[in-house]
Structure 1
Amino acid sequence: MRSILVFLAGWLCASGVQAANGVTAGGVVLLQAEPVIQARVTADKLAPYLKQVDTAATHALKAAASVPASAGFVVVAIRPGEQSAFWLDFTPPLPQALANDLIAGAKAVRVPMVKGTVVVAMKYGVAGGTAPSQPMPAPKEWSAAAKAAGKPLEIGDLVERIWK
């Protein structure tokens, strides 16, 4: 089985450049251990899916006019039944219309078959902002769910608690 990290590494090298339109792709962050992800989906299925989500996100970000420089994450979660959910963690936050367009485009991408919840994040800089340097996203919904749980949660469990 190909390593998820090896498969995504090539994509990271190709996507980490500043585009002329002010959108910077900063790579993929695995939010679960690689063996967990590998047990749930193959790299051959995950990488093309993430590339299509990246294309949809980049398209929405390129189409945005007059947005302030921002940096953040698009968090991607997929689970059995070809279901997907997305959370954004940008500073400053993206305008609501842009956030809605980005999520709608990402949700239109067909989800690969998986054997359990898989969660990753993609880093972006927008309107001249640089991709974030922090290692992990922290969407507001996640913080609230973690606090309500009263104990540390594995990312997959956390996502399942707040899945809409």
Structure 2
Amino acid sequence: MRSTTFFVAAWLCASSVQAASNVTAGGVVLLQPDQVIGARVTVDKLAPYLKQVDTAATRALKATKGVPASGGFLVVAMRPGEQSKIWLDFNPPLPQALATTLVDGARAVPVPAVKGTVVVAMKYGVGGGSAPSHAAPSPAEWKEVAKAAGVPLEIGDLVERSWK
């Protein structure tokens, strides 16, 4: 699955950069090991889903004018029952109206069937900002849950505890 996943990441990145001059993309970050993701969803289901999420995100981001330069992550979690949850981790934070449009657009994409929680993130820059160089997101909600737990949490557990 690794080589296919990297192909998907490169494809998503290239399509976003070409689609919108005020939006840059830094690719897809797998927040779980390939073996975990591969056991829970096939690439032929995951790739089209991520492409549709990327299209919705790019559409929302490029529709904005005058947004301060920002970069960050759109985190996508999927779980059985065709459920999804989206978190944003942008610095500086996106304006609330844009954040709402971005999350709503990503959540509107039909979720593929998965056999357990799957978590990935997509990197973006908007308004002249760069996609983040750090490896993983840390949305505010996750920080609160991790602090309350008092111990390091595996990403799947962190996501399940953060799911509202």
Q: TM-score, normalised by structure 2?
A: 0.93
Q: What are the equivalent positions in structure 2 for 1:18-97 lying under 5 Å apart?
A: 21-97=21-97
**Does 2:105 align with 1:109?**
no
Q: Measure how far apart 1:66 and its partner are.
A: 1.2
Matched letter for residue 133 of structure 2: S
Equivalent pair of 1:80/1:115 in contact (CA under 8 Å): yes
Q: What are the equivalent positions in structure 2 for 1:145-160 lying under 5 Å apart?
A: 145-160=145-160
Q: Measure how far apart 1:7 and its partner are.
A: 4.2
SS at match of 2:151: coil
Aligned to 2:120: 120
Unaligned runs of 5+ in 1: none
The 1:51/1:20 distance shift into structure 2, 3 A limit, reads closer
Q: Measure how far apart 1:64 and its partner are.
A: 1.1
Aligned to 1:136: 136
Identity of aligned residues (%): 74
The 1:52/1:71 distance shift into structure 2, 3 A limit, reads same
Equivalent pair of 2:28/2:123 in contact (CA under 8 Å): yes
The 1:160/1:36 distance shift into structure 2, 3 A limit, reads same
Equivalent pair of 2:71/2:125 in contact (CA under 8 Å): yes
Count of equivalent residues: 164
Q: Measure how far apart 1:109 and its partner are.
A: 0.3
SS at match of 2:111: coil
Matched letter for residue 103 of structure 2: I
Matched letter for residue 75 of structure 1: V
The 1:101/1:59 distance shift into structure 2, 3 A limit, reads same
Matched letter for residue 83 of structure 1: Q
SS at match of 2:17: coil
Equivalent pair of 1:18/1:25 in contact (CA under 8 Å): no
The 1:4/1:31 distance shift into structure 2, 3 A limit, reads farther
**Between 2-11 and 67-76, the greater mean CA deviation after superposition:** 2-11
**Between 7-16 and 39-48, the greater mean CA deviation after superposition:** 7-16
Question: Following the alignment from structure 1 to structure 2, what is the Cα–Cα distance between the partners of residues 150 and 144?
Answer: 10
Matched letter for residue 79 of structure 1: R
Q: TM-score, normalised by structure 1?
A: 0.93
Q: Measure how far apart 1:151 and its partner are.
A: 1.1
SS at match of 1:17: helix
Question: Following the alignment from structure 1 to structure 2, what is the Cα–Cα distance between the partners of residues 149 and 44?
Answer: 36
Question: Following the alignment from structure 1 to structure 2, what is the Cα–Cα distance between the partners of residues 102 and 9?
Answer: 19
